[in-house]
Chains A and B, each alone.
Chain A
Amino acid sequence: MSFHPPMEYSPARFHKSERKLAEPGGEFKYTPENQARFDANVARYPDDQRKSAILYALYLAQNQNGYLTAAAMAHVAQQIRCTPAEVEDVVSYYTMFFTRPVGKYVVNVCRTLSCALRGAERVTQELSEAIGIRPGETDPSRTFTLLEVECLGACDRAPVVMVNDDWHECLAPEQVRAFVEDMRTKGRAAFTGCHLDKEK
């Protein structure tokens, strides 16, 4: 018999960290297309090195689900043949994975030196006012998430903004309001993309 008093083993009681646990999420499984993509990708690595495909597997899950839930991470773990803890270890390190719902447009403003010298701080401020949220937040309609990110590697076309996987370059603070309106009405057509041959 045990002298230990009966205890309730639940995250609510024992999880003391400030970090939120991943949302459990509903049942998750790759679509057949994504499963095929994963199988093709994992073949790029030696047979005993499936874990190399983990970032790719997580991108697939995130694109399918919008963000990574505990169920999605468990599915990735199953695919990679590792533990869910190993998956969370990776997810919590890299900045491009989300464990909370994000907006349709995740607006990443480059805030590092070269962009800041050309007004990135004011771009963030204008975006924040135009959308009505602070950096790190998602608006209630789940249209926009605003994030400040570090150097995006396009410093000659500062300030640079990355929206999901699309790029928008040379965004002057004065153009921000029109840019937000364009995203609402035109969608992806609002973005300049990467135009190296554009006249400077």
Chain B
Amino acid sequence: MAYEPVLVKHVGEPNAYTLDFYLKNQRGYEGLRKALTLKPNDIIEQVKASGLRGRGGAGFPTGLKWQFVLKDTPKPKYICCNADESEPGTFKDHVLMERNPHLLIEGCAISCYAIGAKVAYIYIRGEFYHVQEILEAEIEKAYKAGYLGKNILGSGFDCDVYMHRGAGAYEAGEETALIESLEGKRAQPRIKPPFPAVAGLYQCPTAVNNVETLCNVPLIVLNGPEWFVKIGPEKNGGPKLFCISGHVKRPGVYEASMDTTLRELIYDRAGGMLDDRPLKAIIPGGSSVPLLLPDQLDTPASFDAVQKAGSLLGSAGLIVLDDTVCMVWLAMNLLHFYRHESCGKCTPCREGTDWLLKLLARVERGEGQAKDLELLFGVSNNIVGKTLCAFGDAAATPVLSTMKLFRAEYEAHVREGRCTLPAPWRAAQPMLAAH
């Protein structure tokens, strides 16, 4: 049976982002109308029954996250929508917000009602200014139409949704760092516990949810959890967006159920390899996860199956690599990212990413020695598990994963004193600016 997209079905149409279009073609705000007739706890139970797992990267059950939000407290509660999409290779929230903003707005309102919050902040990365303009305008329209604001649809429920613009920090995608940034500080993670569900924004109970997660909420309320569970394999239900980039013919965002294999995604949906070159490796879930090899292409793209194959589905950002990619260069490119984005709070990550980049650059230039490879391994293992947030593990992953699967390439760089795979799409001398 062909899969019928529900999240991005209309994104190619010119007025897909407007309120009228949403009401006419996507049963817009019917989910909210229905939700307001239910008890808040029933909505949490429905989301739990659906098995919806967080789409931001960790795959934590959303219903459970909401259930943990402290109930008996005089303090206000908050929903924070994580729209700081910055994981390299991920661009699904970008599409959703730009082309289907009302689905997110409706999701925010229902989520607020479910956990008893009156305010949702959408924390959007600073670079998405054009997306923010669209969202601000559409939020305004939702207020005018009575879907936000005071006494929504005559139910007596009040809800405000506000945009909050970040200013260029990958780390703000980590939930406690996002809260810190929202409070007007540097985006650095907090020690957990306490978890945001107990003491989050302004020390109040808070649920931080990814854009795609919240976009699924109106659909669950409207169609019922059974509908959601039926899409895809057990414990990995519901529609999922996959971002496919790199060396494929048709890079883009594709919606599929999670029983779709990586092979189908790359060869059917994204049109196959660019210039029909051979596939060398796949990064299945954004830059922070281990690589998979071509013989693992038949792995279904679900949280559990990809984990079983030795990687993680993460944010479902598939980066496809052909045989021209030098794996030392790849690790260097990604460590440049992690070094730049490390927030500097934990020493192993702040110092470790800098040393990893220096070592990788040395090997890539052809000036590395055999002992540098051991050092790369040692430094990486001194970051993993020794930081407050998952950033440290993520930063060491490109090094550990490429060293494990492509050690021969590292050794060839050292032996021959040069990069053994200089691709034509790379610059002879990469211009690493002083940051």
Interface residues of A, Cβ cutoff 8 Å to B: 44, 46, 49-56, 58-59, 80, 89-90, 93-97, 111-114, 116-119, 121-122, 124-125, 128, 134-136, 147-158, 162, 165-167, 193-194, 196-197, 200
Contact = CB atoms under 8 A, between A and B. Distances in A.
A156 B243 contact: yes
A134 B429 CA distance: 12
Contacts, number: 185
Contacts of B252: 156, 200
Interface of chain B: mostly helix, strand, loop or mixed: loop
A121 B426 contact: yes
Contacts of B98: 194, 196
Nearest to B166: A55
B245 A148 contact: no
Contacts of A90: 184-186
Contacts of A135: 431-433
B246 A94 contact: no
A55 B184 contact: yes
4 shortest interchain CB distances as A-B pairs: A51-B184, A135-B433, A94-B167, A155-B245
B41 to A, nearest CB: 26
A149 B435 CA distance: 10
Interface stretch (B32-40, B55-63, B333-341, B351-359): B333-341
Given A94-B166, A96-B127, A197-B12, 14 more contacts: A52-B182, A54-B184, A94-B167, A94-B187, A111-B336, A112-B287, A117-B321, A135-B431, A150-B88, A151-B86, A151-B87, A153-B85, A155-B243, A194-B130
Contacts of B429: 125
A98 to B, nearest CB: 11
Nearest to A194: B130
A3 B416 CA distance: 65
A154 B340 CA distance: 19
Contacts of A54: 184
A114 B202 contact: no
B251 A151 contact: no
B425 A114 contact: no
B91 A153 contact: yes
Given A56-B165, A118-B425, A155-B243, A200 B250 contact: yes
Contacts of B14: 197
A58 B243 contact: no
A125 to B, nearest CB: 5
A124 B87 CA distance: 21
A158 B343 CA distance: 26
Given A124-B431, A165-B129, A196 B11 contact: yes
A44 B162 contact: yes
Of A94, A149, A200, the most chain B CB neighbours within 10 A belong to A94
Interface residues of B, number: 74
B253 interface: yes
A128 B431 contact: yes
A165 B167 CA distance: 12
Interface string B91-127: 1011100110000000000000000000000000111
Nearest to B283: A113
Interface string B318-341: 010100010000100110110011
Nearest to A82: B184
Contacts of B319: 113-114, 117, 155
A113 B165 contact: no
Contact of B126 (A44, A94, A151, A166): A94
A124 B426 CA distance: 11
Nearest to B172: A94
Nearest to A156: B251
B12 A93 contact: no
B90 interface: yes
A165 B199 CA distance: 34
Nearest to A157: B251
B126 A53 contact: no
A13 B283 CA distance: 51
Contact of B337 (A112, A122, A154, A194): A112
Nearest to A147: B433
A94 B251 CA distance: 30
Contacts of B253: 156
